[in-house]
């Protein structure tokens, strides 16, 4: 902790979030999430015994949290919810809040907060592995332009997957704004997104995240940050083929491809259909 500025470093943003939950919340408290929410945040609450989770709506077109709902909830709920979780850029939505939606902060003078955070820091792993620390240091030393050169393929990956999802319609696909995720609405006749993602895995070898894992059914999240352009090109072909078949024929169950006679459910394997 930097005692001059009250900064605390953790090994990961999820670790920092969990530290705040442990320091701020008791099992009797209520907390706020907005759907679609970051499932790790939901999991952090549940694992620490916090079950009074108030899930607020987001605008169906922009996926931005409903500030009016939040203002009403904070003014009418007694006792006031202890924590409001907002991710920017959004995960899983991939959208950015263009201006600060709200400012909710605990004062650095909040009685006992610093002490509680230090207790957590003393009992939870706070340091990344040495190899990760060296990699981060090298990125800082190399400068912003080098980092940009390493991630420039993300724009092409986003373009490939956006085109693959285009049969769903322009308004069905959102995200990719500062985050490595796209969020897509499935056709209305497929509210059970878990069944759909299982079908994509079995039939087309594409792994997707069901929106219901983030509190919003009938949607899927697509991640494009961990693939090379060539791998993403294979994945995009499979994804588009699956989307077109889903719209045209539904969830056909016979296998579309195989590798040595076994179903292939990984994005990075060779494309064969």
Q: What pLDDT, on a 0 to 100 scale, did the predictor assign at position 219?
A: 97
Cα–Cα distance, 168 to 104 (Å, whole number): 37
Q: Which of 2-6, 67-71, 95-99 ranks highest by mean pLDDT? A: 67-71
Residue that is written with structure tokens 């009797």 in the block? 28
Cα–Cα distance, 119 to 116 (Å, whole number): 5
Average pLDDT over all residues of the chain: 85
β-pairing, 181-185 with 219-223? antiparallel
Residue range 175-187: mean pLDDT, rounded: 92
Domains in the chain: ranges and CATH: 13-123 (3.40.640.10), 151-248 (3.90.1150.10)
Cα–Cα distance, 193 to 176 (Å, whole number): 21
Helices (H) and strands (E) in the chain, counts: 9, 7
Cα–Cα distance, 159 to 165 (Å, whole number): 10
Confidence band (pLDDT; 50, 70, 90) for 141? Answer: very high
Q: What pLDDT, on a 0 to 100 scale, did the predictor assign at position 267?
A: 39
Residue range 186-215: mean pLDDT, rounded: 95
The Cβ-side half-sphere exposure at 239, using a 13 Å CA radius, reads 31
Taking only the tens place, the pLDDT of each residue in 142-170 is 999 988 888 888 999 999 999 999 999 98
β-pairing, 219-223 with 209-210? antiparallel
The region of weakest confidence among 5-14, 85-94, 206-215 is 5-14
Confidence band (pLDDT; 50, 70, 90) for 77? Answer: very high
Confidence band (pLDDT; 50, 70, 90) for 261? Answer: very low
Taking only the tens place, the pLDDT of each residue in 9-47 is 777 888 889 999 999 999 999 999 999 999 999 999 999
Residue range 245-260: mean pLDDT, rounded: 76
Task: With beta carbons less than 8 A apart as the criterion, state whether 94 and 182 touch.
Answer: yes
Both structure tokens of 40: 């790790």
Q: What pLDDT, on a 0 to 100 scale, did the predictor assign at position 153?
A: 82
């Amino acid at each position: 902790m930097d005692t001059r500025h009250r900064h605390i470093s953790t090994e990961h943003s999820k670790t920092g979030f969990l530290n705040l939950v442990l320091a701020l919340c008791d099992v009797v408290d209520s907390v706020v999430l907005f759907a679609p929410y970051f499932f790790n945040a939901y999991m952090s609450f549940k694992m620490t015994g916090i079950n009074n989770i108030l899930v607020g709506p987001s605008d169906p077109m922009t996926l931005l949290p409903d500030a009016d709902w939040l203002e009403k909830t904070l003014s009418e709920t007694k006792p006031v919810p202890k924590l409001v979780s907002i991710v920017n850029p959004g995960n899983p939505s991939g959208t950015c809040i263009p201006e600060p939606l709200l400012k909710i902060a605990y004062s650095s003078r909040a009685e006992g907060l610093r002490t509680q955070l230090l207790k957590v820091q003393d009992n939870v792993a706070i340091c990344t592995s040495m190899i990760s620390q060296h990699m981060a240091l090298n990125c800082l030393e190399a400068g912003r332009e080098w980092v940009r050169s390493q991630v420039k393929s993300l724009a092409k990956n986003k373009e490939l997957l956006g085109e693959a999802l285009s049969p769903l319609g322009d308004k069905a696909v959102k995200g990719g704004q500062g985050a490595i995720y796209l969020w897509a609405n499935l056709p209305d006749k497929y509210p059970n997104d878990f069944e759909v993602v299982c079908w994509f895995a079995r039939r087309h070898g594409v792994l997707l995240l069901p929106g219901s894992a983030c509190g919003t059914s009938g949607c899927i999240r697509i991640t494009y940050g961990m693939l090379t352009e060539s791998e993403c090109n294979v994945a995009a072909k499979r994804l588009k083929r699956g989307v077109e078949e889903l719209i045209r024929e539904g969830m056909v169950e016979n296998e579309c491809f195989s590798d040595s006679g076994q179903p292939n459910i990984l994005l990075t394997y060779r494309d064969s259909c």
